[in-house]
Amino acid sequence: MKQAELVGMSMFAAGTITVLLPFFALTFAIVWSLLFAFDASTRTHCHVPNYLPTVSAAIGLTPQAYVWRACIGISTTPRLIALWMYRSYLRQSQLDATALLKPFHRLLSLVMLTGHFVEIWALLVLSVISSTENGDLHEYAFITFMVGGITSMITDSLNKTTLVLNERERQMAKRKLIFCILNITSFVWAVVFYFQHNWYCKPGVYTLFAFFEYIVILSNMGFYYTQKLEMVDYRITVVDPDGNKIG
Neighbour count for residue 79 (Cβ, 10 Å): 25
Report how far apart, in Å, the C-alpha atoms of 156 and of each of 100, 111, 142, 219, 240 are. 15, 9, 21, 15, 34
Cα–Cα distance for residue pair 207/229, rounded to 1 Å: 33
0.75 cut: is pTM over it?
yes
Domain limits, the chain: 4-230
Least confident segment among 18-27, 133-142, 172-181, 237-246 = 237-246
Residue 235, phi then psi, degrees to nearest 5: -135, 145
- Asked if pLDDT for residue 202 goes beyond 70, the answer is yes
Q: Radius of gyration of the chain from Cα atoms?
A: 20
| Strand, coil or helix: 9 | strand
Beta bridge partners of 238: 7
pLDDT one-digit tens code per residue, 154-183: 999 999 999 999 999 999 999 999 999 999
The stretches of 201-231 forming alpha helices (DSSP H) are: 205-229
Q: In 3-state terms, what secondary structure has residue 178?
A: helix
Residue 241 pLDDT: 67
pLDDT band at residue 245 under the 50/70/90 scheme: very low
**Mean pLDDT of the 66-75 span:** 96
Q: What is the mean pLDDT of residues 36-58?
A: 93
Beta-bridged to residue 235, according to DSSP, are 10
Q: Quick: pLDDT tens for 94-141.
A: 999 999 999 999 999 999 999 999 999 999 999 999 888 888 999 999
> What is the C-alpha to C-alpha distance for residues 58 and 69, in angstroms, rounded to an integer?
12
Predicted confidence at residue 153, as pLDDT, reads 97
Q: Which of 55, 27, 28 is nearest to 42 (CA)?
A: 55
**Cα–Cα distances in angstroms (integers) from residue 17 to residues 24, 27, 71, 94, 218, in the given order:** 10, 15, 10, 29, 15
* Under 8 Å between Cβ of 120 and 83: yes
H or E stretch at 28? helix 11-36
